[in-house]
Amino acid sequence: MMNQRRVSLIVGAAICLCGAKLNAQTPGAGSCDVPVVVADYLNQPVRNLLPTDFSVRLDGSITPVAGASIDAGPKRISIVVDASSKVPAEEWKLEAEMAPELVSHARPGDQLFLVVVGNESASGAFASSAELTARLRDIGTSRRNGAPDEKIYDALAEAARHLDAAQFGDTIFLFGHYQDSGSTTSLDTLRNLILEKRLRFFGMSFQDRFADIPGGFKPNKPIPGFHLAALEGLSGETGYYFSFHAVRDLAYPGQLPLFKNFLSDLYTWMAEPYRVQISTPAIVAGRTLEISISEMGARKVNKNGLHYPHTLYSCTQQQMKSPDIRNGTPAQ
């Protein structure tokens, strides 16, 4: 029998590239704060780690860790929902149900922003969980026939630009397809925007990712002719993944409750990562980052349970500004 916290679905196409509240902190010269999620085999956060448990390398060189603690302060999350006409009705039904489910886990002080592909423009301002849930439910019941183009890149770029004056833990979460059509934003532009702003990018689709793969393949083995799509690779670069949950799989008895547990886990990852402070000069160009923890086997963590950006860009004092969480609300 499968543990009730596990989802018997393909997550990230089976491929992953990759506490206590803190007072607001802005690292000075010679330091860089990195959001790191450490999850065990059941996707549950490992919360008892100390700075000495982390090992960090930049461009292959060992780099000192100045601090590491859970940052449970308010986070900014841009939700992108693909309501284009290319999303079949059965997939859209799940998007319209599961996006509010994810948002329902937002905490007081979290700031949410909505961009809808193929329906309407961005919401224009950050919103609370209740406000965004109401908008999502309204969109879910009134989807119009959208244009034939599926401008995913444009929507993701708009979501990224709204997260200006980058703050620790900023995140984009896409419900929709990984394919793009008709965007004026190029993949290179989108990639630079997301990586240089140091955003975390999750993707979730209700497509069958392996629909075009010949039958008989083994999910835990390399699949001949299979390649990651561009957005799957981009999500992996930020330390996360594009997960796929086919409509037919979620239709099996008991799968939806498991899937909702999975969404709850993902929100916890977004909301309460470790803030790992690396002692290093200000980073203004991309540098390769590698992070590991001690006693991974004893902690029931494998390398796919470590989520962090694999390349660091523009790690400067201003871009590592954090929201003021002393009173549980973002700084004004």
pLDDT band at 237 (very low <50, low <70, confident <90, very high): very high
pLDDT band at 318 (very low <50, low <70, confident <90, very high): very low
pLDDT given for residue 280 in this prediction: 78
**Structural class in CATH, domain 76-215+222-270:** alpha beta
Whether the pLDDT of residue 202 is over 80: the answer is: yes
**Which of the two residues, 210 and 3, has the higher pLDDT score?**
210
Whether the pLDDT of residue 324 is over 60: the answer is: no
pLDDT given for residue 214 in this prediction: 64
Stated as kind and residue range, the H or E segment containing 287 is strand 287-293
pLDDT band at 312 (very low <50, low <70, confident <90, very high): confident
Model confidence pLDDT, tens digit, residues 248-305: 999 999 999 999 999 999 999 999 999 999 987 766 678 899 999 999 999 999 999 9
Which residues of the chain are in CATH 3.40.50.410 domains? 76-215+222-270
Q: Do 207 and 87 meet the contact criterion of CB atoms below 8 Å apart?
A: no
Give the DSSP letter of residue 17. -
Q: How far apart are CA 281 and CA 316, in angstroms?
A: 9
Q: Do 194 and 172 meet the contact criterion of CB atoms below 8 Å apart?
A: yes
Whether the pLDDT of residue 134 is over 60: the answer is: yes
Angle between helices 230-237 and 187-196 (to 10 degrees): 10
Model confidence pLDDT, tens digit, residues 46-73: 999 999 999 999 999 999 999 999 999 9
Least-confidence region, from 101-110, 243-252, 266-275, 318-327:
318-327
Q: How far apart are CA 52 and CA 274, in angstroms?
A: 13
Q: How far apart are CA 319 and CA 58, in angstroms?
A: 19
pLDDT given for residue 67 in this prediction: 95
Q: Residue 3 carries which side chain, given as an amino acid letter?
A: N
CA atoms within 13 A on the CB side of 250: 22
Rounded to an integer, the average pLDDT of 178-192 is 95
Distances (CA, A) of 300 to 38, 154, 268, 295: 10, 39, 18, 9
pLDDT band at 331 (very low <50, low <70, confident <90, very high): very low
Q: How far apart are CA 264 and CA 149, in angstroms?
A: 31
Whether the pLDDT of residue 18 is over 60: the answer is: no
Percent of the chain with pLDDT over 70: 78
pLDDT band at 216 (very low <50, low <70, confident <90, very high): low
Least-confidence region, from 15-19, 72-76, 234-238:
15-19
Least-confidence region, from 78-92, 101-115, 207-221, 295-309:
207-221
pLDDT given for residue 224 in this prediction: 67
Whether the pLDDT of residue 308 is over 80: the answer is: yes
pLDDT given for residue 215 in this prediction: 65
